[in-house]
Structure 1
Amino acid sequence: MAKQALGPIRRSFAPWDDPEAKPLIHFNAVTKRFGDFVAVDRVDLPVFEREFHALLGPSGCGKTTLMRMLAGFEEPSEGDLLLDGKSLKGVPPYQRPVNMMFQSYALFPHMSVEKNIAFGLKQDGMAKSEIDDRVGEMLKMVRLEQFAKRKPHQLSGGQRQRVALARSLAKRPRVLLLDEPLGALDKKLREATQFELTDLQQELGMTFLIVTHDQEEAMTVADRISVMDQGVIRQVAVPAEIYEQPSSRYVADFIGDINIVEGSLEAAGDGMTRLVAPKSGLTIEAEQTVTERPEVAWFAIRPEKLRILRERPAEASVNAVEGEVWDIAYLGDVSIYNVKLDDGTIMRATVANTTRLVERPITWEDRVWLEWDRNAGVILTR
């Protein structure tokens, strides 16, 4: 019988919206210093049981340091780390119900697949019959039964990744920590493995915490994402909210492609805000109530929300601008148009290729108009 899709489970899972829900993990005002360098700065983050949570950010933002503190490899300089409401201060790594899967996989090259998976269980003194049963269960779960006797060098990158995952899960930790686990895989295998990870996490009912710099990976696997920058969490939200309602220019710019226009704010009636950008000749209206009134604000809009037209739109005074097609990238499923405005600003529009292209209706050096709806973008004040 075919496995049931996970949609209903993931769609209804949102303990962070329940004020009565208690987090499984709580980074409570955690700071970590290395000498004068502040790697993590007063991070306060709850992670709930059965949640797949992603720490996303560029290299050096503090995400791996945060994970290493949870694993017990580093101690906080300030603040506390709670698991089930109990402090982990002074608890050594081997006594924490947490296991970590490293980016390098760290498999023992002289051991077979089954012995790699069994290693931690033997260290814990588990009976041989129980170890055999657990290893068999893990091999079946990651679909490597026929490779049990092989050594790591006889496996593909994807198979080694699954061995490392099985070894991490064999001890049945409360929390599995994944440090850039798919970085060594090629694009297609990485995408397939992302869905395998989410299925596995739901099937086991475990809490996963993943560190990644790959935005698409975080968006695919995570229930919630924490976007980090310079040791600080800039926004915590579900993937759709991170993408469609970024809280700042940093988050908007870090997640996916985006056009950002700088200007000044004007009131435009109930539920509507206007941003004027004289340099680009743009007047933008957004279905958004903005209470702050900084001197400078920004309008952020995703390329797929723009429409590219040959003719001037009927309502060209608002949410429309003219320019010249400067570059085109054909990616198969979509075409990307870089349109140069008269002031030199480049705006990017993405068009889905819903038909087979024989000849481009819009091509290089064409004069075109870009337009968008009032609910297509977001005004940012920081």
Structure 2
Amino acid sequence: MRPAAAKPAWEGDRVKHVLGAVRRSFQPWNDPGAKPFIEFRGVSKRFGSFAAVDGQTLTIYEREFFALLGPSGCGKTTLLRMLAGFEQPSEGTILLEGRDLAGVPPHKRPVNMMFQSYALFPHLTVENNIAFGLKQDRLPRAEIRDRVAEMLRLVRLEGFGKRKPDQLSGGQRQPVALARALAKRPKVLLLDEPLAALDKKLREETQFELINLQETLGLTFVIVTHDQEEAMTVADRIAVMNHGRIVQIATPAEIYEAPRTRYVADFIGSVNIFGGTVEPADGAAVALAGEDGFALRVANGAQRPPQGAPAWIAIRPEKVRISHEPPPDPARNAVAGEVWDIAYLGDMSIYNVRLASGKIVRASLLNAFRTVERPISWEDKVWLSWADDAGVLLAE
């Protein structure tokens, strides 16, 4: 587990980077004795008749990197703003370290926010942007100078302190905003779409830098994003939201491999969803009469809908086999189709296959070799198939 008393970088030597081992063992949500660091209890936020957040309960643990994920308008930013104190709940309670935050103004909360726009002051230098909040708190000049220097080292921008924001690239402005948010030493850092303005490659690099920074400082980070890959990269746990409600909270692997609903399965990554009607019990598996004209079978999971009930099976493209030849057992989890589109992505190829029903099914193949003996091409007749345990049974 993560060290209980690790010191932030500004209090002494940097914590040794042990990201892999730490992230594998850090699971306080599975510990009955662990106390939540942040709690939302039955929290709602209404704007007129519109419920941006609808009676939600959520716990976040100390030193957790937690992601609020969902489409625009789902309520994730409203939750973040209520924690920061910029919005007040219409109902419910928000607690930090067991303390009710009701009536506590934003500047008196041990919380700081990094905004999507970065909100840097254009007329101030990088150093003065970072120092702004410290000066507002009337810290001694020497302490401000030392802390600004520490923040610049932390985000690897030594030598940029005298520049102004318009003399920096977008990739450089982002860590300045991060340094300013961290300078006041908050207990919780809130990140509102912090990487949205960066290009894809820089965004991917910065995601890992955020993970390293959070591990080094030992702080609690809460990030809001609509980017599923970003959430799955940085977060210990993800709360998927829709229409003001939390649909599922789980680790990235659990969200991807074991979604609870069609909405979560479809929102996270690429997925094929097949509908059908539950047939009589088939041993340990659940059998469906597929609505696309072929039999479906899935290894029994946590739920078994009653016979005759509608159900769905979610299959990730990388778990779908594609071949010119039929599989050994074409009677279940197998269907023929025609290659409709191909996307070559370098590391993998994506095949969109059109079934006789008109449904498009996606399969992905890893390009492990530079050449392929018998490539699959457009308009080829192919078979798609998958194992019983490759899919996830969904009842809603």
TM-score, structure 2 normalization: 0.94
With over 3 angstroms needed to count, the CA separation of the structure-2 counterparts of 1:278 and 1:76, relative to structure 1, is: closer
Query: Is 1:297 aligned to 2:311, yes or no?
Result: yes
**Within 5 Å, which residues of 2 pair with 1:113-124?**
113-124=126-137
* In structure 1, distance between residues paired with 2:21 and 2:234: 15
What one-letter code is carried by the residue in structure 1 that aligns with 2:184? K
* In structure 1, distance between residues paired with 2:34 and 2:125: 43
* In structure 2, distance between residues paired with 1:311 and 1:146: 62
Which residue does 2:90 correspond to in 1? 77
Which residue does 1:59 correspond to in 2? 72
Which residue does 2:209 correspond to in 1? 196
Which residue does 1:31 correspond to in 2? 44
Secondary structure at the residue paired with 1:279? coil
* In structure 1, distance between residues paired with 2:171 and 2:346: 26
What one-letter code is carried by the residue in structure 2 that aligns with 1:137? E
Secondary structure at the residue paired with 1:10? helix
* In structure 2, distance between residues paired with 1:212 and 1:180: 5
Conserved 8 A contact 1:335-1:351:
yes
Comparing 275-284 and 160-169, the one that deviates more: 275-284
Conserved 8 A contact 1:41-1:232:
yes
What one-letter code is carried by the residue in structure 2 that aligns with 1:316? P
Which residue does 1:363 correspond to in 2? 377
* In structure 2, distance between residues paired with 1:38 and 1:345: 36
* In structure 2, distance between residues paired with 1:9 and 1:3: 11
Which residue does 2:389 correspond to in 1? 375
- CA displacement at 1:270 relative to structure 2: 4.2
Residue by residue over 1:21-73, the C-alpha shift from the partner in whole angstroms, topping out at 9 and shown as x without a partner, is 11110010000000000000011000000000000000000000000000001
- CA displacement at 1:361 relative to structure 2: 1.5
- CA displacement at 1:358 relative to structure 2: 6.5
With over 3 angstroms needed to count, the CA separation of the structure-2 counterparts of 1:179 and 1:360, relative to structure 1, is: farther
- CA displacement at 1:241 relative to structure 2: 0.3
Which residue does 1:264 correspond to in 2? 277
With over 3 angstroms needed to count, the CA separation of the structure-2 counterparts of 1:41 and 1:2, relative to structure 1, is: closer
* In structure 2, distance between residues paired with 1:55 and 1:2: 27
Which residue does 2:337 correspond to in 1? 323
Secondary structure at the residue paired with 1:11? helix
Query: Is 1:218 aligned to 2:231, yes or no?
Result: yes
Comparing 36-45 and 311-320, the one that deviates more: 311-320
- CA displacement at 1:287 relative to structure 2: 4.1
Which residue does 1:146 correspond to in 2? 159
Which residue does 1:311 correspond to in 2? 325
What's the Cα RMSD here?
1.5
What one-letter code is carried by the residue in structure 1 that aligns with 2:19? L
Conserved 8 A contact 2:66-2:235:
yes
Residue by residue over 1:162-188, the C-alpha shift from the partner in whole angstroms, topping out at 9 and shown as x without a partner, is 000000000010000000000000000
Conserved 8 A contact 1:122-1:131:
yes
Query: Is 1:352 aligned to 2:369, yes or no?
Result: no
Conserved 8 A contact 2:67-2:231:
yes
State, as a whole percentage, how many aligned pairs show the same letter: 65
Residue by residue over 1:75-125, the C-alpha shift from the partner in whole angstroms, topping out at 9 and shown as x without a partner, is 000011011111101111011000000000000101111111011011111
Secondary structure at the residue paired with 1:243? helix
- CA displacement at 1:313 relative to structure 2: 1.2
* In structure 2, distance between residues paired with 1:287 and 1:28: 34
With over 3 angstroms needed to count, the CA separation of the structure-2 counterparts of 1:358 and 1:319, relative to structure 1, is: closer
* In structure 1, distance between residues paired with 2:111 and 2:180: 13
Q: Which runs of 5+ in 1 are unaligned?
A: none
Secondary structure at the residue paired with 2:301? coil
Conserved 8 A contact 2:277-2:311:
yes
Which residue does 1:173 correspond to in 2? 186
Which residue does 1:128 correspond to in 2? 141
Q: Which runs of 5+ in 2 are unaligned?
A: 1-13
With over 3 angstroms needed to count, the CA separation of the structure-2 counterparts of 1:76 and 1:4, relative to structure 1, is: closer
Comparing 97-106 and 267-276, the one that deviates more: 267-276
- CA displacement at 1:273 relative to structure 2: 1.1
Which residue does 2:175 correspond to in 1? 162
Comparing 270-279 and 287-296, the one that deviates more: 287-296
What one-letter code is carried by the residue in structure 1 that aligns with 2:177? A
Conserved 8 A contact 2:116-2:194:
yes
Residue number among 94, 98, 103 corresponding to 1:90 in the alignment: 103
What one-letter code is carried by the residue in structure 1 that aligns with 2:342? I
What one-letter code is carried by the residue in structure 1 that aligns with 2:259? P
Query: Is 1:106 aligned to 2:119, yes or no?
Result: yes
Conserved 8 A contact 2:68-2:240:
yes
Conserved 8 A contact 1:287-1:374:
no
* In structure 1, distance between residues paired with 2:46 and 2:93: 14
Which residue does 2:220 correspond to in 1? 207
Secondary structure at the residue paired with 2:174? helix
What one-letter code is carried by the residue in structure 1 that aligns with 2:195? L
* In structure 1, distance between residues paired with 2:184 and 2:291: 61
